[in-house]
Chains A and B, each alone.
Chain A
């Protein structure tokens, strides 16, 4: 006797067909299929009778705590990554400078070049400062004040923003929307 169609019907749990009588007839005579039928029915009955499990009270507040903790940790990791990235970039730049010194001239010539650049920059800034002061001295006192007050305010504000931004990076990370 081929049990396959009966086993498939029993295990699939598909709706009974027109051949229901024939299939039940087979179940009454075949011990193997009737055992399978009973087992499938019993397993399904037991699965369906089991209660729905609920979490312990306070699940949502525990989730809130977890979310706050994970968000803080994510920000911390992000700021650490940023700092490590900046440090790595600085190290790379230093390595490139050293390589450049080693392969393109002596350290002394590179140092002299660096000093020349610094002196040129300082002299350039001094010239610019003198030009600005000379221009300001030519205008009346009231206009001078009107120029200085907004300039110092703007630069003071920008400086403070810059300091606060630098302080926020390692402490609070960078918020990405």
Chain B
């Protein structure tokens, strides 16, 4: 965290909402991204991200400066999204029913957009099969590069629980991938074939 951010945080802790707005501006993307990957819907992600910042603002006095602020924020977002997922129990949809609304690339070609959308829908489908906490652990690992310890602190889990959840999640996603993409699996295997095989 930079000195400016530390100053904003200090001022926000004293009740300066304008200083906290600077923090919102700075961290909106990581928080929104986590919420989007957890909930899979742009509007729900927006609401969850707004709620995350409100909760953070409300409990700012309880923030321990020894901890990473980003991880603390992501922890609030993850807990909120886990609760939302449990409450709503999002129904699992078939791959064909999922909208292909992946984020547009900076230089999109129709093929690229469709391909990206399919990949996004495919990954969302895989993530939807995970338990909420497993999903949060996967998102924190792959998109935020958090260590097992950091994920554990964020989700109130032990390091061994994080390891086992990540293992279970990877295994489940790989198994589902094998079932849903048998042709891709064979093609990739042929592509990766080397003298060692």
Are A38 and B29 interface neighbours, CB within 8 A?
no
State whether the Cβ of B79 lies closer than 8 Å to any Cβ in chain A.
no
What is the 8 Å Cβ interface bit string for chain B, positions 99-135, against chain A (1 contact, 0 not)? 0001101000000000010011011001000000000
Are B28 and A53 interface neighbours, CB within 8 A?
no
* Residues on the A chain within 8 Å of B119, using CB: 46, 49-50
What is the 8 Å Cβ interface bit string for chain A, positions 54-71, against chain B (1 contact, 0 not)? 111001101110110010
* Residues on the A chain within 8 Å of B147, using CB: none
A54 and B27 alpha carbons, distance in the complex (Å) = 11
Return the contact of B177 from the options A28, A43, A52 (Cβ within 8 A): A43
A binding-site residues for B, Cβ under 8 Å: 7-8, 11-13, 21, 24-25, 27-28, 34-36, 38-44, 46-56, 59-60, 62-64, 66-67, 70, 177
Are A38 and B189 interface neighbours, CB within 8 A?
yes
B binding-site residues for A, Cβ under 8 Å: 15, 17, 21, 24-25, 28-29, 32-33, 36-37, 42, 45-46, 49-50, 53-54, 57, 102-103, 105, 116, 119-120, 122-123, 126, 138, 142-143, 163, 167, 170-171, 173-175, 177-178, 181, 184-185, 188-189, 192, 196-197
**Top 3 A-B pairs ranked by shortest CB distance?**
A28-B197, A39-B174, A55-B32
- Nearest chain A CB to B160's CB is how many angstroms away? 13
A177 and B29 alpha carbons, distance in the complex (Å) = 31
A36 and B54 alpha carbons, distance in the complex (Å) = 42
Are B142 and A55 interface neighbours, CB within 8 A?
no
Task: Given contact pairs A59-B32, A59-B49, enumerate 10 new A-B contacts (beta carbons under 8 Å).
Answer: A13-B170, A36-B178, A39-B175, A41-B192, A43-B123, A43-B170, A44-B142, A48-B142, A50-B123, A66-B54
- Nearest chain A CB to B5's CB is how many angstroms away? 15
User: Residue of B at shortest CB range from A67?
Assistant: B17
Are B29 and A63 interface neighbours, CB within 8 A?
no
